[in-house]
Structure 1
Amino acid sequence: MRMHATLGIGIAVTAGAFVAGCASGPAAPSPNTPSPAAASPAASSPVPSADLSEIPREPSDKPPATGWVSGIITRGGTGPCYGFTADDGTRYALYSTAGLALNQSERVKVQLETTMVRIYCGPGNLMAMTAAEPIT
């Protein structure tokens, strides 16, 4: 019985606080509080305009090289995924369904193309390998 009375009082207090909060309306700012416009000097300064001649016309990220690239196989096998480090130090994750047998540490030149296939072939830029030739 006592629990029902305590629960009833709690609900009544919560409902009263809710009704009192909704009926009072928005609180007026105190006279000592500065207005947002006066508090921020940036609001009164003009917005600088952008010079359209300074906007880059080309993508800022260098796209991966396509065509023939020479380097060393870092992860070999018969595919479909290979690891490759180009002579310039760029790491590639190569994908090929041709079943080429490439040995680790073998120096080769590979023909690369961008690929729409989104699979994980290891670390590096994912590229499609369309051909590979050993460098002797």
Structure 2
Amino acid sequence: MTRTGFFVLAATMTVLSGCAAGNEPTAAPPRAERTVSPLPTLTRPTAPPSEPTDDIKATELIVGTVNRGGSGPCYGLVTDDGVQYALYEAKGRALTIGIRIKADVSASMLDIACGAGTLVEVKTLTPVG
């Protein structure tokens, strides 16, 4: 055997013996046990909802006296039973303090400050004689 062959054989043996050392099979670490809960079951409703499910409410007719007037778009209105509303009308119009109006309104989804009272958006507005 030549000197080069000896070194190749020795290197191969060293590599192979290094690969084998410490490679005995070991047991896998124990797995943590998982608890599986069943998925919720959806059931069909037996009746319609008892309360509204939409955020948008239907329009409401209110009648009262203007207590904050001007050229708009915000006004104040007090109903005959003392409920204060903050009216918002996009198109705006001149309303005089003290006149009576009838307004078809809906809950406003706008984030604006129109003064004291429940903020509502005017759909239609009519002066009452």
Alignment match, 2:92: 99
RMSD of equivalent CA atoms:
2.0
- Alpha-carbon distance in structure 2 between the residues aligned to 1:110 and 1:122: 17
Q: TM-score, normalised by structure 1?
A: 0.51
Alignment match, 1:30: none
User: Residue 63 of structure 2 aligns to which amino acid in structure 1?
Assistant: S
Q: TM-score, normalised by structure 2?
A: 0.53
Alignment match, 1:109: 102
Equivalences for 1:9-88 in 2 at 5 Å? Answer: 66-88=59-81
Which consecutive segments of 4 or more residues in structure 1 shift more than 4 A? Answer: none
- Alpha-carbon distance in structure 2 between the residues aligned to 1:112 and 1:93: 11
- Alpha-carbon distance in structure 2 between the residues aligned to 1:120 and 1:112: 17
Instruction: Flag structure 2 segments of 5+ consecutive residues without an equivalent.
Output: 1-49
- Alpha-carbon distance in structure 2 between the residues aligned to 1:66 and 1:130: 8
Aligned residues: 76
Question: Which structure has the bigger radius of gyration?
Answer: 2
Percent identical pairs in the alignment equals 42
